[in-house]
Amino acid sequence: MKRTLFSTFLVAGLLFTGACNQQKTEVGEAGMNVAATQAADAANPTVDNPNVATESEAPNPNAPVMTFAEAEHNFGDIQPNSVVKHTFEFTNTGKTPLLIDNAQASCGCTVPNWPKDPVAPGQKGKIEVQFDAHGKTGMQNKQITITANTQPSTTQLTIKGNILPDGASGPVRQ
């Protein structure tokens, strides 16, 4: 009786193990379930965006191009607690209208203002930058990142200056 019961369990265990082995899922690269990967790819198709260049694609020859007269401006010495401004001028030397999406400074003390309307090919535009020196001393170096429909999509401008000490007694803030 014990031998029959043992044999029954042994046969049932082998059948169960064999059934489990038949239900294995196919595994692809990096141990991923191939069926799950294919389902995820089908649910999230790749979108072809003409304004985004990949390494294998050639740049769009018709894309707008921002050509700046200068990409960096040095204010020199700046009086303490003052506000200084500079205007960066550019020309769209590309073949299609230039659309600036955003201009963002690396610090809240620097505020850029840019054209919101398209700049036609051959036309000029201006980006005005205001720097507030309140509470700052010493050498300052701030970047402005412009995001537009150009290739590449970002362009960097830089402003620099040396904020003179205000002569007040006490610790100096940097």
> What domains does the chain contain, in order, with CATH numbers?
2-43 (no CATH), 66-163 (2.60.40.10)
Per-position DSSP letters for 87-101, written without gaps between them: EEEEEE-SSS-B-EE
| Paired sense of beta strands 66-68 and 83-92, if any | antiparallel
Which token pair is 120?
């036609």
pLDDT at 173: 58
Query: What kind and span of H or E run contains 8?
Result: helix 2-22
Average pLDDT over residues 153-169: 88
- For residue range 51-99, what is the model confidence (pLDDT) as tens digits? 555 554 567 888 999 999 999 999 999 999 999 999 999 999 999 999 9
CB atoms within 10 A of CB 170: 5
In the chain, what percentage of residues exceed pLDDT 70? 62
Total length of the chain? 174
- For residue range 14-49, what is the model confidence (pLDDT) as tens digits? 545 544 444 444 545 445 566 655 665 665 555 555
- For residue range 88-121, what is the model confidence (pLDDT) as tens digits? 999 999 999 999 999 999 999 999 999 999 999 9
Average pLDDT over residues 117-145: 96
